[in-house]
Structure 1
Amino acid sequence: MKRLTILGSTGSIGTQTLDIVRQNPGKFEVYALAAGRNAEEVERQARQFKPRVIGLMDDKAARELKQRVADLDVEVVQGMEGLLRSVTDEAPDTIVTAISGRIGLEPTLAALQAGKDIALANKETLVAGGELVMETAKKLKRRILPVDSEHSAIFQCLEEDERTLEKIILTASGGPFRGWSAEKLKEVTPEVALKHPNWAMGAKITIDSATMMNKGLEVIEAHHLFNMTYEQIEVLIHPQSAIHSMVQYCDGSVLAQLGRPDMHLPIQYALSYPTRWSNPFERLDLRGKTLTFFDPDEYDFPALKLAYACGRRGGTLPAVMNAANEVAVHAFLARRIPYLEIIRLVERVCTEHDVLDATDLETILSADHWARMRTEEFIG
């Protein structure tokens, strides 16, 4: 039986992870749940899954939750200290990192150092601290199993001899604005941008998918997860979202993983690996379907070009890009800036940054803090 800590239990990945637990009785114990501030939803989860520890980042929400679950045998912890407690206790063996944003970096590192395996659904962790995280996992011989559908697809297509791998191909739907003119994009509102054509996701990742920054983050994540150069990582627009990614080998063979645009399967595979479990999920039906592929247009998607450049430069620059993007996306969602200003802001902050080697957590967090402050200054 696997004992889980689920970071981000009230988000899209977190709730779908609990679906997997619910569908596989006897295979999991939920040791800890952690979220931001949704005390009401966490209470519902706690009453069903009976965790021993619950963590909320927001102090006020944590105090409210303590009152809500006073009749349960559960400890409520709060803030980053509580988050770290939920991943470093002796009991859990697998940490599902589904919390949104760079905030996932510290608990992921702490979990690895405490000897836990990671089911990683937080790409910002590897964007901001990829070298440090992967070195830590390698040194301590811990597994990082990808949950993102694209990286799960690559993982499922990999052969044992990594020397035969020639390149990986990340697919992208292109989001809701593929082919839109700059004039039309000026009028984009949060409501329009949040309507992804294929996937049901949280607000931040949905906006990232519209700008294609999400795919840029995935390129950097793939670089670290699979030890590939940026020249070996290709992106193709695939509007149907049936092929989640592909792997090309030195003999020209291309292996692809296909499935419905649903995160349950990659979540389950990360938790069941190295075996596969049956499930009641709807199956992919390709009858009558046409699958198409296009190169991404750098004019339409400048975020992708920026992410490649930041990834190649390395050091603290990817962390700065990610931090600036987080601030800019939330500013757009709050109607403080227009849609087209998101990537302009990120690029401006990246241009100003004096890049350092990202060899320790303190340096990464310092760069992240600087980028957030500078982006807010530009917005102000």
Structure 2
Amino acid sequence: MLRHVAILGSTGSIGTQALEVIAANRDRFTVVALGAGGNQPELLARQAIDFESPLIAVAKAGAVQDVQLALYAEAQRRGYAEGDFLMPRIIAGPDAATDAARTPCDVVLNGMSGAVGLMPTLAALEEGTTLALANKESLIIGGEIVTGAAKPGQLVPVDSEHSALAQAMRGERVEDVHKLIVTASGGPFRGKTRAELGDVTPEQAMAHPTWDMGPVITINSATLVNKGLEVIEAHLLFGIGFDRIEVSVHPSSIVHSMVEFVDGSTMLQASPPDMKLPIALGLAWPERLPGAAKACDWTTSSVWEFFPLDNEAFPAVRLARRAGEFGKTAPAVFNAANEVCVEAFVSGDLDFLGIVDTVEEVVGQHLSDPDVKLAGMSVGSVLAADAWARTRARDLTARKRMENR
């Protein structure tokens, strides 16, 4: 049966790969909406025409004209005669992606980056649509709001680690799970001491050894903030306590995660690092798409290595556990402060070690507020905590910049 799909974040790494999967399976999927920031109008126009999407959502209202002009230019380049090309409907503004998530369809793939993905995630869940979730931040900051809005089987993880856990747990009972082991490549600085990370440049941090990802996720992988977020995500997705979720450093990124059961058995999912596999599973779940990605070559010799996480050099996972165990709006503060600090690092206003150090300071201030412990969870409280954390992180990074002059 043909599945109708909305792709949010279509011009990003996840979105472009998702469209490649759909292009290879035209008999299985059709695109009903594309959402993007609007910074790449030419690419968005090509996608809209390639997949005949009737709706385009752009976050930047000022990008509408650029997208329209790009659509006309692309149609002309392809030789469409006047009247042969049906212009997609374009909606714009901060709520455009949320509106696109409400489009009647079978699957919404949320491939957006950052906390802005929260409202589209909730919109898709409220519509009862299957949500293929690559935007981990919306689950992490939304916490029980998101999990409470999701019906059984409605939320399908697209992160390779959580897709692996979901595959390993197929047909298994949660009560038989002893622990989850989330694997980490270790990023470009695996084996470095904290002292050796003081002079890291953004270019070095974005040189990931095994994955091709966007700049924010790549830097998060270098600090291991991404792995901290994934620990919180695993807790929320599978209902396993933080004391039973471990991180193991696996440099080759072949084993994407593991589930250890109470009888001593461990189930793992292995495949060469390629996001098309979890994306294809997210779009087709619970079915598999033949040829979605290359399999491991079992005719050649290989060695799979696993190492313990160095919490001294990379304290981000420990900090994420602290935020996740506290719950409420603490994960939102952790995520928001990190997003600001990554921007400051890229712009040269904060050093590499300052990213997690500043996030820790912001989280610590949040957790020391007695009102936080008493507050309930709502979309309003999450957004307020997110805004407070961003402001506080900017203040701290500005102070550190002045101190270093």
Normalised to the residue count of structure 1, the TM-score between the two structures is 0.96
- 3-state SS of the aligned residue for 2:57? strand
Q: 1:219 aligns with which of 228, 231, 235?
A: 231
Superposed displacement of residue 295, structure 1: 1.1
- Tell me which residue corresponds to 2:82: none
Q: Share of identical aligned residues, percent?
A: 44
> How far has the Cα of 1:289 moved from its partner?
1.2
| 2:66 aligned with 1:64 | yes
Q: Contact 1:358–1:364 at 8 Å: present in 2 too?
A: no
* Pair 1:86 & 2:82 matched: no
In the alignment, does 2:33 pair up with 1:32?
yes
Aligned residue for 2:251, secondary structure, equals coil
RMSD between aligned residues? 1.4
What is the DSSP-based 3-state SS (H/G/I as helix, E as strand, rest coil) of the residue aligned with 1:176?
A: helix
The Cα of 1:142 is off from its aligned counterpart by 5.9
Q: Could you tell me how far 1:280 is from its partner in structure 2?
A: 5.9
2:331 aligned counterpart, secondary structure? helix
Partner of 1:243: 255
Taking the TM superposition and a 5 Å limit, the aligned residue runs for 1:57-136 are 57-69=59-71, 72-89=86-103, 91-136=104-149
SS at match of 2:318: helix
Q: Distance in 2 between matches of 1:314 and 1:337?
A: 28
For residues 127-174 of structure 1, the C-alpha deviation after alignment (integer angstroms, 9 at most, x for no partner) is 101210000113xx5610010000000000103322211111000011
Displacement after TM superposition at 1:117 (Å): 1.1
Match of 2:45 in 1: 43
Give CA-to-partner distance per residue, 1:270-302, whole Å, 9 cap, x none.
222222221163221252211111110111111
Q: Distance in 1 between matches of 2:246 and 2:221?
A: 17
Q: Secondary structure at the match of 1:270?
A: helix
- Please list, as runs of the form range in 1=range in 2, the aligned pairs for 1:9-28 lying within 5 A after superposition: 9-28=10-29
Question: Rg: which structure is higher?
Answer: 2
- Report the more deviating stretch, 174-183 or 192-201: 174-183
Q: Give the 3-state SS of the residue equivalent to 2:95 in structure 1.
A: helix
| Residues 21 and 292, structure 2, Cα contact 8 Å, conserved in 1 | no
Distance in 1, matches of 2:392 and 2:356, equals 14
Residue type at the aligned position of 2:120: P
- 1:335 corresponds to which of 340, 348, 355: 348
Q: Report the residue type matching 1:156 in the other structure.
A: Q
Q: Contact 1:116/1:142 (CA < 8 Å) preserved in 2?
A: no
Query: What secondary structure does 2:143 align onto?
Result: helix
SS in 1 for 2:187: coil
Matches within 5 A, 1:1-380: 1-37=2-38, 38-69=40-71, 72-89=86-103, 91-138=104-151, 141=152, 143-158=154-169, 159-279=171-291, 281-286=293-298, 287-353=300-366, 354=369, 355-356=372-373, 357=375, 359-380=377-398
Measured in 2, the distance between the counterparts of 1:13 and 1:294 equals: 28
Name the stretch that deviates more: 346-355 or 65-74: 65-74
Q: Distance in 2 between matches of 1:372 and 1:358?
A: 20
Residues 84 and 330 of structure 1: CA distance in aligned 2, closer, same or farther (over 3 Å)? same
Residues 341 and 359 of structure 2 are in contact (CA less than 8 Å); yes or no, is this contact kept in structure 1? Answer: yes
Query: 1:118 aligns to what SS in structure 2?
Result: strand
Moved over 6 A (4+): none
Distance 1:254 1:358, change over 3 A: farther
| Structure 1 Cα separation of the partners of residues 216 and 95 of structure 2 | 24
- Given residue 350 of structure 2, which amino acid in structure 1 is its aligned partner? I
User: Which residue identity is paired with 1:47?
Assistant: I
Aligned partners of 2:153 and 2:190: how far apart in 1? Answer: 39
Partner in structure 1 of residue 81 of structure 2: none
User: In 2, distance between residues paired with 1:68 and 1:290?
Assistant: 48
Structure 1 position 102, deviation (Å) = 0.7
Say whether the 8 Å CA contact 2:161–2:183 is kept in structure 1.
Answer: yes
- Name stretches of at least 5 consecutive residues in structure 1 with no aligned partner: none
Render the CA deviation track for 1:61-119: whole Å, top value 9, x for unaligned: 22311233255331111122211211112x22211010000111111001111221100
Tell me, in whole angstroms, the C-alpha distance in 1 between the residues paired with 2:273 and 2:308: 21
Whether contact under 8 Å (2:128, 2:154) holds in the other structure is no
Query: Relative to 1, partners in 2 of residues 1:116 and 1:234: Cα closer, same or farther, differing over 3 Å?
Result: same
Alpha-carbon distance between aligned partners in 2 of 1:243 and 1:23, rounded to the nearest angstrom: 25
Q: Which amino acid aligns with 1:84?
A: T
What is the CA-CA distance between 1:358 and the residue it aligns to? 5.2
CA shift, 1:56, in A, is: 1.0
Question: Letter of the aligned partner of 1:312 in structure 2?
Answer: E
